[in-house]
Amino acid sequence: MDLKALIRDVPDFPKPGILFRDITTLLQDAAGLKYALDQLTDRCAALSPDYIIGIESRGFIFGMPLADRLGVGFVPVRKPGKLPAAIHGMDYALEYGSDRLELHQDALAPGSRAVIVDDLLATGGTAQAAAQLIDQTEATLAGFIFAIELAGLAGRAKLPAVPVESLVIYE
């Protein structure tokens, strides 16, 4: 199945000069969504995770069904102020400012394997910050799974030396 055909291009969003890859059209297509989840599940299963780490918020869309299909736990990585217990936090740079991600300190069992899931790998800053949060626990980062990768932005180069899987790659 050609997943690229199900992903809508939106020019000049969120600002002029940006070509936004919109997954909502993929999510609306039942056969396309099932196919994408099947592919993500196969790639994720090969990494033998104990936990799926979903990055807020679109990482939740793919992460929850992956965790369910694989019979493993789901752990959200959230924006600041959303988690009620003790957290690890990581600030990171964006092309237009900075942001922060947080993870509960007790979210991952020591020695467990975690796979980070998100919808998009672009410049790599968000995924790198999530990986650094995993490093602050006693868990092991087993890999990354993305629905879309914008290869021209070289985000993969910022990530630790673990497997990185992407369903759709735009050059």
Rounded CA-CA distance 103/41 in Å is 23
| Inside any domain, residue 56 | yes
| Inside any domain, residue 27 | no
CB 43 within 8 A of CB 145: yes
CATH number at residue 57: 3.40.50.2020
Q: What is the mean pLDDT of residues 18-47?
A: 97
| Inside any domain, residue 82 | yes
Count other Cβ atoms within 10 Å, centred on residue 48. Answer: 12
Parent domain of 94: 49-170
For the chain, how many structural domains are there in total?
1
| Inside any domain, residue 39 | no
Res 96 pLDDT > 80: no
DSSP 153-166: G-GGGGS-SS-EEE
Please write the tens of the pLDDT for every residue from 129-153: 999 999 999 999 999 999 999 999 9
| Inside any domain, residue 31 | no
Which one of 43, 58, 78, 113 is the catalytic residue?
58
| Inside any domain, residue 7 | no
Rounded CA-CA distance 46/58 in Å is 22
Q: What is the mean pLDDT of residues 71-95?
A: 95
| Inside any domain, residue 55 | yes
pTM: 0.96
Task: Give the strand pairing for 19-22 and 73-77.
Answer: unpaired
pLDDT band at 94 (very low <50, low <70, confident <90, very high): confident
pLDDT given for residue 97 in this prediction? 78
Rounded CA-CA distance 77/129 in Å is 10
Rounded CA-CA distance 128/109 in Å is 21
| Inside any domain, residue 132 | yes
Closest to 40 measured CA to CA, from 88, 3, 80, 14: 3
95 is a catalytic site residue: yes
Please write the tens of the pLDDT for every residue from 36-59: 999 999 999 999 999 999 999 999
Percent of the chain with pLDDT over 70: 99
